[in-house]
A and B are shown apart, each in its own frame.
Chain A
Amino acid sequence: MKAPDFSYFEAQNIEDAIKYKSEDDEAVILAGGQSLLPALNMRLSSPSCLIDISKINNLNEIKIEGDFINIGALATHSDVMNNDLVREKYPCLVDILKMVAHAAIRNKGTHGGSIAYGDPAAELPAFAVAMDAEIVLSGLSGQRIVNAKDFYLGLFETDLKSDEILTAIRYPFLSHNQHLIFDEVCRRHGDYAMAGLMAKVELDQSKINNLDLVYFATGDKPNVAQNTARLVIDNGYDYEKLKKSLASEIDFAGDLNSSSEMKLHLATILINKILNKLER
């Protein structure tokens, strides 16, 4: 389990990294390395070069920009959890990150890395989709912004172009009547979930006005369950009905820890868990 040979480039700024990347199709970006390095050591991929962006200044900044909180790509999970702005404006993100791996991994793994990698079992891509986040990408032709909903295309497949680097994620603030509630079911604490749910709820008094349900660890990417959300708004929690709706909306893909039936069941009961949390 030793990585195959590769060359290594330590980028000092984004421009260099983009240039280098655009010149070499087989080079890959290295951020925290928590997903990339194990894959290299298992010889699952053999890139020509690792472009290390982790030394680039200011790419880990967390700041407020208008109606958004802007999280720099290199902010580690620990940076984000311990950031005062995030704690004040986005306490739910702190709770979510507590479920991401373990402290040692959170100290290295980056927010941008997780969003860019797009592991369908990861929490943050689903969070970004549920929050309607904007993903900031920089490439040879400058900067562009992609809505998280449009960023995830398929299994580990994103809209990131080969010359692009993800530089930041911008999350709009929740209004006073909006809540982001999440839950997940894992075999062990810190594991990728068997199924997880990010729910953005908009309340009118205590009635649900609007609901976005975004699942993770269920299929090939963050799975949005629009019809099911509609059913919840209209009829509340009805296990059989919701299960049927989810089954028609999401192509559940089983894994070692849970079959597709298990995931469908958990996806359904997660709605109940979310509604119960909402009541509290």
Chain B
Amino acid sequence: MEPFLNIQHVQKTFSLSGSNLEVLRDIDLDIPEGSFYSIVGASGCGKSTLLRIMAGLESATEGSVRLRGREVKEPTLEIGMIFQESRLFPWLSVRENIRFGIFKTSPEDRQQIDEHIKLVGLTGFETALPGQLSGGMQQRVSIARALVNRPDVLLLDEPFGSLDAFTRINMQQEILKIWEQEKTTIVLVTHDIDEAVFLADHIVLMSRRPGTIKKIVKSDMAHPRKRSSYEYTRLRNEIYQEFFAEFKTDIEYSI
């Protein structure tokens, strides 16, 4: 069978004022349809760059990203992306922001938009401006905007990074619900190891400078996951240790 989302030997070098900076080296990933991948790694290891290449916003220096065998060279409606900042247009209402996500607007959009407003739990806020919403609500709108085209793949770059702990856990449950409901393939970049363990079925650990894939940890824990379960803590410890070894930091890890 043809691979769904396939990253082959991706390498990325930025040239910064004459000198070259190798950010990604030899990235190979095979992401099956409907899976939930999470990419974790230290700041600056190239996670965002990798995601941007997958979205077609940036081109790889070498190698390629393919979706169902077709090379992704520029953005496509089949791949949606969400950033740390909601990037909503402050002059458009919630409804208009979501409508902006629709490629070819038509009179039947209304129902589609309403469905997505409901999906992210913002019914009643249709006419609000982004400035009148909390950070978490803004991010929900941006998720709705990305989903309204029904993309096959949703890329999320630290989408909850700027939210407080309560809102973040709330949003994690929300994204899980969406994933189960919409069957969208998700790739989530995060700093937060706990977030990755809670959500993903594959956790990609990246090393830095240049960023390479150090390890892919598989997790077949059923949802909803209990943060206190044995399996959960074992997996989290495994990942922490992976990074401790690299940084040679000597922190005692306890539950």
Partners in one complex: no
